[in-house]
Structure 1
Amino acid sequence: MESLKGKGKGSRGALELLKEWTNWSLKKAKVATHYGFIPLIIVIGMNSDPKPHLFQLLSPV
């Protein structure tokens, strides 16, 4: 009798594919968060009331 599990590259289980896809997506999300956080804060600050200038947002005072 043949076993239900195949052999070779195509025999990866659904759980392993899910883990691989999850790791890939988390790496992409980490990069997007890393490079998008400060611009997001600037955009939110520019759209707030009262409207500050860009220099006022970036200055530490």
Structure 2
Amino acid sequence: MSSKIMLKPKGKNTKKAEAADEDDGAVAAVGKFVKEWGTWSAKKAKVITHYGFIPLVIIIGMNSEPKPSLSQLLSPV
């Protein structure tokens, strides 16, 4: 004899269980939206950081005292 797992309860509380399932669906949709938005924003932040770090360092370096020229700022010495 094999046993089956019932996902929906049988009996008097069936309507309450269905209402709870509908509420869980709304929460799952919001959770999915937040997860997708988080993934999207993390990808965008990675690209911005990747392409923006060196120009940021150059801009900060050129605005510091004493003011170096661009060739002095980029040279390894």
Q: TM-score, normalised by structure 2?
A: 0.66
Question: Matches of 1:19 and 1:27 in 2, distance apart?
Answer: 12
Q: Percent identity?
A: 62
- Note if 1:24 corresponds to 2:71: no
User: Rg bigger for which structure?
Assistant: 2
In the alignment, which residue of structure 1 is the partner of 2:68? 52
Runs of 4+ deviating beyond 3 Å: none
Task: For residue 48 of structure 1, report the CA deviation from its aligned partner.
Answer: 0.1
* Distance in 1 between residues matched to 2:68 and 2:51, nearest whole Å: 23
The CA distance in 2 between the partners of 1:4 and 1:19, in whole Å, is 20
- SS where residue 76 of structure 2 aligns? coil
Q: How far 1:4 moved relative to its partner?
A: 1.2
SS of equivalent residue, structure 2 residue 22: coil
RMSD over aligned Cα, in angstroms? 2.2
